Structure 1
Amino acid sequence: MLTFGIEEEFVLLDRSTLVPVPIAADIQRALANFNFGRTVVQSEFLRCQLEYSSPVLMHFDEAAQALWDFRSAVAQCADEYGVVVAGVGTSFRNPAQAMVTEEGRYIAIAESIGILASEHYINGLHIHVGVPGREAGVVSLNYLRQWLPTLLAMSANSPFWCGQDTGFSSWRAIQYRRWSSAGCPPEFIDAIDYEKRILALIGLGVTPDKGSISWSARLSARHPTVEIRVADAQLDPSTTLLLALIVRALVLASMTQSETVPPDPAPELLDAGLWHAARYGLSAQLVHPLHHRLVPASEAVQSLLDAAHLALEVLGDLAIVTALAEQLLLVGTGADRQRLAFNTAGKVGLASFLARSIRNDSSADLPLAGHLGPNDPRPLESDSLD
């Protein structure tokens, strides 16, 4: 039974303008009253961002409880301060200047990236899966590469930028491509090769340390985990849970894969596939993860589910993942739902939708309620920037 953990980033927004507001430190202090201390809720690159690090988890029930508890608490704190807390990959509109958190590492990074600091209003979802060692982690990384575009398409939740519809489903993914080590990781020979190659990146571009490696999937610098970083921050906990359970199943599948696994796709196909997924999400065709040709999005998602099927059965997650995946294909990605809210009722409608989504109110028919369990007290520590 592989453990997993979830890091969710949230942004605090003005209710009327949907512009980020720099009160993350105030919300952090308020969350302490709900027993969410600074080992669980970390500051992020900007003073309008918070990151929640879950306990180390084993089962859907406890993961659902952990996400629900935190989101309920942070929503209540946001209400008290008169702001909206949102799980979105990008804000609807951004302020003119950066709100860099006054911590040494963040300040140093901001100084090194120039004007990019004022445009880094992006929020991600990071999923950790425990692995028995670095060698197993590299095997999983190599296997996961082919699935990253499909996972990005399923998680796409950032259609807006500077008050406009970008035409992309994940504008966060496009923004993040500008960083020096962003994108799909290369294929590695073994753990020694992995270590050698990440050490060569230290000091280049925006990579002052191992924790700033920005690949869409990597080995964690702090934990014995594979860390999948391709996803946008999510509107509601149900989609977060779907992605986390699928990623865990794929890691397990990588450890039990047969000799008939298709050859590793060319890096240019994976890179183009990531761009294509960022553009369209699930609203059009996607690159098939195994055959590398355009197919309906539902077919690409089904290919992923087929690859994870046996692992999901072993882990006891097949029924809930199947239900959540069907729901996602039915109601659309976060980007689709944000667009619908904005096109229906403008900024007021979008603000109301985001405020409801944080508690899952906007998708109450998802199979989340009733699947609750105890929390593991061990939180993850974030080593992320995005």
Structure 2
Amino acid sequence: MRSPGPTFGVEEEYLLLDADTGLPAPRARAVQAAADPEPALGDELDTELLQAQVEVATPVCGRLDEAVAHLERLRGAVARAAARVGCRVAATGGAPLSTGLAMPVTPQPRYLEMRADAARLVDEQLINGMHVHIAVPDRDAGAAALAAIRPWLPVVVALGGNSPFWDGRDTGFASWRTVVFGRWPVSGSPPYTPDADSYEQRADAVLATGVIPDRHQLYWHARLSESYPTLEVRAPDVQLDAESAVTLAGLCRALVATALADGDRRPPNPPADVMQAASWHAARHGVAGDLVDPRTGKPAKAAEVAEALLEHVAPALAETGDTERVTGGVDRMLHGGTGAERQRQAAGEGGVSGLVDLISFGGPSRLGGGENDEVQR
């Protein structure tokens, strides 16, 4: 059975950790080779910018339970392949530990060009996101939907924060990945584009500067896909577990479905600097304090803003039968902790080994405790 809402797919990026040390391990090609016995993977496992990362993508889904099943299948298969080469797979938005040495770049022309153009920045791309592709009828509808979901994207950043640690230290941020990714020339909040013409003009103007080589480096929190007939939401960190990932996927789909249903209704258009401030604040605090309320541009308690978002998308969630699952998932994030809060709790209770055990899947680590088994806070 297909859901009455738009179809969607989920991409997840993972970090490869050495099973003995918990440090990033540049073994992506070895993991790919070790995945051959895994019929569950097929061609759904891919490399990423750095060789300590891999990416998976679900097939097109119509229902959230389909997406959960695919993500659990993919995570299990990748974990088994990684274990064959001495790795664990970590679902964290940023590498919590680092040797300080640069990870090798995957030897593809585009990635090598990025390394030559922005060496230190590429070295620090040990960050992992979650991308949700939601089907749109055409690029006009997609651009209008992008304009409509734009004010709510900082809330998705906050709910999706899962990268509090970096280089052995607590950054103080819920999503340090958002900060690292924000260093690229084109990143953060997307521009206001009410139709396809305005979107294409904005993208073409950026390309005309010569600063980025192609549209794949339009690293906005959401954008129109150049490969599929979809709107791609890129705001959240990769999530600790498949159920959290599907909560955010369902929320993003409902946002787009709501925008498509609103048709010609003109959405709010917060100024770019307000959007930047709202996104930074969301990355800094997650849902632990206030968020910028997109309806007013003023601070409000995170739970109230999340509730406003759920109210905004309630008809779309009801239409697809996702109300209980998505609202329950958001409630768990608000009251049980987002990934960032759960990581801090694990580090506080179990040190490095406890943190690595939380963020990794595929069996227990071989890390031993000791006097240095703690993350600096």
What is the CA deviation profile of residues 38-75 of structure 1, one whole-angstrom value per residue up to 9, with x for unaligned ones?
63111100001111011011011211110110111112
Spell out, residue by residue over 1:208-267, the C-alpha distance to the aligned partner (whole angstroms, 9 max, x if none).
111221111100010000000111111111111001011111111001228876632222
Paired residue for 2:222? 217
2:338 to 333, 342, 356: 333
Q: Relative to structure 2, which stretch is displaced further, 203-212 or 85-94?
A: 203-212
Letter in 1 for 2:308: S
- Alpha-carbon distance between aligned partners in 2 of 1:344 and 1:243, rounded to the nearest angstrom: 27
Q: Which of these residues, 218, 225, 233, is aligned with residue 228 of structure 1?
A: 233
Greater displacement, 285-294 / 77-86: 77-86
Code of the residue aligned with 2:152 in structure 1: it is W
| Partner of residue 84, structure 1 | 88
Q: How far apart are 1:35 and its partner, in Å?
A: 2.1
Residue 202 of structure 1: how far off its partner (Å): 2.3
Report the Cα distance in structure 1 between the residues aligned to 2:234 and 2:211, rounded to whole angstroms. Answer: 17
Q: Which residue of 2 aligns with 1:247?
A: 252
The higher-RCO structure (CA 8 Å, 6+ apart) is 1
Distance 1:318 1:155 in 2: 19
Gap runs ≥5 in structure 2: 364-377
Which letter maps to 2:105? V
1:141-220 → structure 2 map (5 Å cutoff): 141-202=146-207, 204=209, 207-220=212-225
Q: Distance in 2 between matches of 1:225 and 1:100?
A: 28
Q: Distance in 2 between matches of 1:141 and 1:110?
A: 30
Residue 204 of structure 1 and its aligned partner are, at CA, apart by: 4.5
* Cα drift, residue 206 of structure 1: 5.7
Bigger shift: residues 310-319 or 11-20: 11-20
Q: How does 1:343-362 map to 2 (within 5 A)?
A: 343-356=348-361
| 1:43 match | 47
CA distance in structure 2 between the aligned counterparts of 1:117 and 1:259, rounded to whole angstroms: 41
- Judge conservation of contact 1:158–1:334 (CA < 8 Å) in 2: yes
C-alpha distance in 2 between matches for 1:262 and 1:136:
13
- The code of the aligned residue for 2:39 comes to N
Residue from 252, 262, 271 that aligns with 1:266: 271
Question: How large is the Cα RMSD of the aligned pairs?
Answer: 1.8
1:290 aligns with 2:295: yes
For residues 126 and 295 of structure 2, what CA distance do their matches in structure 1 show?
33
Deviations 1:75-113 (A, max 9, x none): 222233332211111001234113200111110111111
Instruction: Supply the distance in 2 between the matched residues of 1:238 and 1:2 (Cα, whole angstroms).
Output: 19
Per-residue Cα deviation, 1:181-215 (whole angstroms, up to 9, x for no partner): 01101111421121122122226466211122111
Aligned to 1:33, the other structure's residue is in SS state: coil
For residues 130-183 of structure 1, what are the alpha-carbon distances to aligned partners after superposition, in whole Å with 9 as ceiling and x for unaligned? 000000001110011101100000000000111100001100101111100011
Aligned residue type for 2:200? E
Contact 2:133 2:231 in 1 (8 A): yes
Q: Is the 8 A contact 1:6 1:53 kept in 2?
A: yes
Q: Is residue 131 from structure 1 mapped to residue 130 from structure 2 by the alignment?
A: no
Query: In structure 2, what residue type is equivalent to 1:44?
Result: E
> Matched residue of 1:232: which SS?
coil
Residue of structure 2 equivalent to 1:25? 29
Report the Cα distance in structure 2 between the residues aligned to 1:122 and 1:64, rounded to whole angstroms: 22
* Residue matched to 2:98: 94
d(CA) in 2 for partners of 1:210 and 1:38? 28
| Counterpart contact for 2:148–2:267, Cα < 8 Å | no
Please report how far the alpha carbon of residue 31 of structure 1 lies from its aligned counterpart in structure 2 after TM superposition: 2.2
- The answer on whether the counterparts of 1:15 and 1:351 sit within 8 Å (CA) in structure 2 is no
2:203, 2:47 → 1: CA distance? 25
In structure 2, do the counterparts of structure 1 residues 98 and 83 end up closer, same or farther at CA, with 3 Å as the change threshold? closer
The answer to whether the 8 A contact 2:147-2:192 is kept is yes
Letter of the structure 2 residue corresponding to residue 50 of structure 1: V
Stretches of structure 1 lacking an aligned partner (at least 5 in a row): 360-386
- AA aligned opposite 1:310: P
Letter in 1 for 2:31: I
- CA–CA distance in 1 between the matches of 2:147 and 2:49? 29
Q: Which amino acid aligns with 1:280?
A: H
Instruction: Give the equivalent residue in structure 1 for 2:370.
Output: none
What TM-score, normalized to structure 1? Answer: 0.89
Which amino acid in structure 1 is aligned with residue 330 of structure 2? A
How many correspondences in the alignment? 358
Q: Is the 8 A contact 2:41 2:77 kept in 1?
A: no
